[in-house]
Amino acid sequence: PIFDRHHHHRFALFGYQGALRVLTTILDKIFDKLDRETSETGVTDYSYDLTR
């Protein structure tokens, strides 16, 4: 499974770099889900001013 994408076998899975890679992957999935579920304008969208 890790060889089905080009160069994915080169991503670190252990140590500090591996932990950052796993965290980034998890957060990407969470943010993708939030983007899909909160795209209705004026109802579920959130202002980016809250994060500035």
Three-state SS sequence of the chain: CCCCCCCHHHCCCCHHHHHHHHHHHHHHHHHHHHHHHCCCCCCCCCCHHHHC
pTM over 0.95: no
Q: What are the 10-residue block averages of pLDDT along the chain, 52 residues in total?
A: 57 84 86 78 62 52
